[in-house]
Structure 1
Amino acid sequence: MKSALYLCLLLLGLQVQGQQQEQQIPHPPKHHSQADGENLPHVKLAPSNADFAFKLYKQIRDESGNRNVFFSPLSVSTAFTMLALGARSNTLRELYKGLAFNLTQMEEQEIHEGFQHILQLLNDPQREVQLNIGNALFVNDKMELLQNFMDHVKNFYYAEAVSSNFQNPEAIREINKYVETKTHGKFVDLVKSLDPETMMVLINYIFFKGSWERPFNSDSTRDDDFFLDAKNSVKVPMMHQNKFFNVYRDENLSCWVVEIPYKGNVTSLFILPDEGTMKQVEDALLKETVSNWLRSLEEREIYLDLPRFSVSSSYDLKSLFKKMGVTEVFSNQADLSGVAKNLPLTVSKAIHKATVDVRENGTEASAVTMIEISVMSMPFPPPPHIAFNRPFLMMVIDKLTDGVLFLGKIVNPTAKED
């Protein structure tokens, strides 16, 4: 029986309280030039990461039924790409294909350099948002990692390998303490037990806490109806603003797109499909669609209603990846011979957890806000009223890397855990 490599992916999302906490960066990155150029690895990586984000979203959507969806595509792709450093032959090819990397357009070295630059840019302590992403390997002391794998994991992904006696309960406490600390207490006692065959626990975490450029006034928040479907509704605290936002009405897809920026180079898109058009909008979720939305945004005054909510999700990535054609890495045919000496390894478990908290003073943001004042020669029609009082989509985008940090669908803002 093969020894099991237990791959655990964790994500902590969107805390939207206005106060900033001090950055906690395990490996302070070197300052990286922000000069844009098509040949910078992280720029070349962005289209593939976007393709993967929307591919994984549709797979989760198909399995989730009528439940909330929320996850970090960047957390998932970072962890599996880091694992790819130790994969070989068909296992490696399947992983790259599943992660939407085209090796005819990017070399392997460029892929890992791209993630290295993303980690540097996201963890920059000079940013106005609190954004931390990092990786760790907890290794059974019975296993010896190959030096080449350790060097690459440390160089590209700033991950340290921690050797532990997995037979000792202290090892589980050590892993859980790491997760709890890095996610600011959002995930406590995540690992309940380790299989006797487990040789390594690979963890990726992402934590975001941002303040809206223009917060909602909590005095304006009031309970209102959120329509789950044509017949059912729940009461939610609904936030209100009557201001200028970057907005786009997509007539082809029958939806509104509203950009709500955060302080710092992070922004969020909230997408409100017309009644009965959610699946049409979801099916059209592609990088080209989102690029078109971002290009088409125009500043205009709107009445905006947005629910205050907090939801969490948990996913079995092993099941999701298998349905996307990535199977070998989870089987006895897995070739992870680049990880450790003389140990046949396979991925026995891969989980992803995410949580989001959207409130009056924060969530994520970054965008240009220019209030246009015109001479009034004739009465203007009233500003459109865009009420997110039915199922909607949301995404959080880092503008420095063009990365989709978080992606989700809120079908019931009162459902805490899915």
Structure 2
Amino acid sequence: MKRLIIALTFSLLAGCGTSSSANFAEEDYKMMSEANNQFAFDLFNELLKIKEAENIFFSPTSVHLALALAYNGAKTETKQEMGAVLHVNQYEVEETNRAYASFLNKMNSDDGYATVNIANSIWIRNGYPFLESFLNTTEDYYGAEVHSVDFMDPKTKDEINEWVEDATNKKIKDMVQQIKPNTVSYLLNAIYFKGEWKTPFDEKQTYIDTFTLANKQTKPHPFMSQYGKFDYLETNGFQAISLPYANDEMSMIVVLPREGKSLKEFYSQLTAAQWDSWLNDFSKKEGSLQLPKFEMEFEATLNDPLINLGMPLAFSGQADFRAMVEGGGIAIDEVRHKSYIVVNEKGTEAAAATSIAMTESAAMDTFTMTVNRPFFYAIVDNASGTILFLGEMDNPVYVE
């Protein structure tokens, strides 16, 4: 069996962690869903270009939502670039926010068979001039928790990481690894999903067989097996199957290139419009499925992919986030994404988190000096310039 592409399709998405207090129409979420899916395939193609591991798994929804928080703080060309990447430039910001609010509201569900939990939070430096209008918008439309913190306190990193762990059922850990001295904010999204198959695989039917890697090497691997009637699609290039979760509102789509065909050929056709077209062509068909069990983690820094997609200003000294902070002067320093998934006989558990670190753009040339090797030093009188003491330190000793 060849490598395959797997996508979680959320027909009715849910998020227990975040709710919106804003006004919106029930169907507003459709606009956000379309923008999200266009962004999903854009970012996927960029990740393919830079992938360091064999496998890719990420949540475009998590990245899209985190960037939407930052987008609300952007102005002028920075806003235009971000809006184009997010596929929302054709809408007013208010329309976009209503769509996100509707989307998050629609995702609220935990019926015992499938759970999706989406949470947003904003962590801001104590006393920094964040605009109340920005904070209110992110709270009202995105349900974002706002935390005012001291980024120089080592406990702050732990608090942020604990928030991510709690929002992802402990699946995403150590989201923030180091906080820079000029950090003014972290914008965070976390998403957690757990769903039981509508028709679970029988563990007794799981067997070991051969999986063929992209380089044609083979390895033994456990395969789940099931016979039944599925939503199924065949083309000249691939087979595809839809596996519903127990609530029938979500499903996993698995696409397998035909023998002699590659995922690269499939990706060359993959767009949001084509994806929708394929989904409409699925029909019920009886057959057997053998699907590998798997579990994986993935992480990536998304600066370069997002810059390549067309939003370089947001990362530069010319970034305009005056709708977030009085006077602006800040930029995106890093967009980081981590994800996890396990697929077995019972169902699927998946989680992802996206962090956007905002720093003072004027301070982007700041240095770090760690005196961890032999050094020279002097004690001087500043007024006269007189050197009172000189020294070289090769082996520091300090007795408490």
TM superposition score normalised by structure 2 = 0.79
Task: Report the CA distance shift for 1:262/1:63 in structure 2 as closer, same or farther (over 3 A).
Answer: same
8 A contact 2:232–2:241 mirrored in 1: yes
Q: Deviations over 1:165-216 (max 9, x none)?
A: 1111111111111111111111223323210001111110000000100000
Question: For residues 180 and 268 of structure 1, do their structure 2 counterparts lie closer, same or farther at Cα, with a shift above 3 Å needed?
Answer: same
Asked if the contact 2:16–2:107 (Cα under 8 Å) also holds between the matched residues in 1, the reply is no
Q: Is the 8 A contact 1:115 1:156 kept in 2?
A: yes
1:128 deviation in Å?
Answer: 4.3
Q: Deviation of residue 163 (structure 1)?
A: 0.7
Structure 1 residue 156 displacement after superposition: 0.8
* Aligned pair partner of 1:122 in 104, 107, 116: 107
d(CA) in 2 for partners of 1:27 and 1:297?
Answer: 33
Q: Does 150-159 or 227-236 show the bigger shift? A: 227-236
Distance 2:25 2:208 in 1: 43
How far is 1:126 from its partner? Answer: 5.1
* Separation in 2, partners of 1:352, 1:27: 19
Partner amino acid, structure 1, of 2:242? E
Runs of 4+ in structure 1 over 3 Å off: 23-35, 124-128
Moved more, 64-73 or 352-361: 64-73
CA gap 1:178/1:230 in 2 versus in 1, 3 angstroms: closer
Q: Partner of 1:69 in structure 2?
A: 56
Q: Give the equivalent residue in structure 1 for 2:229.
A: 244
Q: Of 259, 268, 272, which aligns to 1:287? A: 272
Are 2:240 and 1:257 aligned? yes
Contact 1:86–1:149 (CA under 8 A) maintained in structure 2: yes
Contact 1:116/1:157 (8 A) holds in 2: yes
Q: Mind listing any 5+ residue stretches in structure 1 that lack a counterpart?
A: 1-12, 15-22, 365-395, 397-404, 407-418
Give the secondary structure class of the aligned counterpart of 2:347.
Answer: coil
Change (3 A) 1:281 1:149: same
Residue 100 of structure 1 pairs with residue 91 of structure 2? no
* Matching residue of 2:11: none
CA distance in 2, matches of 1:229, 1:331: 38
What residue in structure 2 maps to residue 50 of structure 1?
A: 37
Which of residues 200, 208, 220 in structure 2 aligns to 1:215?
200
Q: Which amino acid aligns with 1:75?
A: S
Matches within 5 A, 1:85-234: 85-103=72-90, 106-125=91-110, 128-229=113-214, 231-234=216-219
Matched residues in 2 for 1:127 and 1:82: separation? 30
How far, CA to CA, are the matches of 2:340 and 2:272 in structure 1? 24
SS at match of 1:210: strand
Partner of 2:16: 25
Q: How many residues end up aligned between the 2 structures? A: 339
How far apart, in 2, do the equivalents of 1:31 and 1:322 lie? 31
Cα contact 2:210–2:219 (8 A) shared by 1:
yes
SS in 2 for 1:209: strand
Partner of residue 341, structure 1: 326
Distance 1:333 1:115, change over 3 A: same
Identity percentage over the alignment? 27
Does the 8 Å CA contact 1:247/1:258 hold for their aligned counterparts? yes
Greater RCO, 1 or 2 (C-alpha within 8 Å, sep 6+): 1
SS of the residue aligned with 2:109?
coil
- Confirm or deny: 8 A CA contact 1:135 1:205 kept in the other structure: yes
Residues in 2 aligned to 1:92 and 1:301: alpha-carbon distance in whole angstroms: 49
Separation (CA, whole Å) in 2 of partners of 1:350 and 1:54: 18
Deviation of 1:148 (Å): 0.4
How many angstroms apart in 1 are the aligned matches of 2:309 and 2:197?
A: 36
Residues 372-418 of structure 1 deviation map (CA, whole Å, 9 limit, x = unaligned):
xxxxxxxxxxxxxxxxxxxxxxxx9xxxxxxxx99xxxxxxxxxxxx
2: CA distance, partners of 1:123 / 1:314: 26
Shift of 1:283: 1.3
- Displacement of 1:161 in angstroms is 1.1
The letter of the residue matching 1:211 is E
User: Per-residue CA shift, 1:272-319, capped at 9, x if unaligned?
Assistant: 011333111111111222222221111111111000001111111111
Give the conservation status (yes or no) of the 8 Å contact 1:84–1:95: yes
Whether contact under 8 Å (1:257, 1:293) holds in the other structure is: no
Alignment partner for residue 268 of structure 1, among 243, 248, 252? 252
Contact 2:124–2:146 (8 Å) recurs in 1: yes
Name the aligned partner's letter for residue 172 of structure 1: K
**Any idea what SS the aligned residue of 1:69 has?**
coil
The one-letter code matched in structure 1 to 2:256 is L
AA aligned opposite 1:159 = A
Per the TM alignment, residue 24 of structure 1 is displaced from its structure 2 partner at its CA by 8.5
User: Partners of 1:231 and 1:286 in 2: how far apart?
Assistant: 27
In 1, Cα distance between equivalents of 2:18 and 2:271: 33
The 1:82–1:24 alpha-carbon spacing in structure 2 relative to 1, beyond 3 Å, is closer
Cα pair 2:19 2:143 within 8 Å, conserved: no
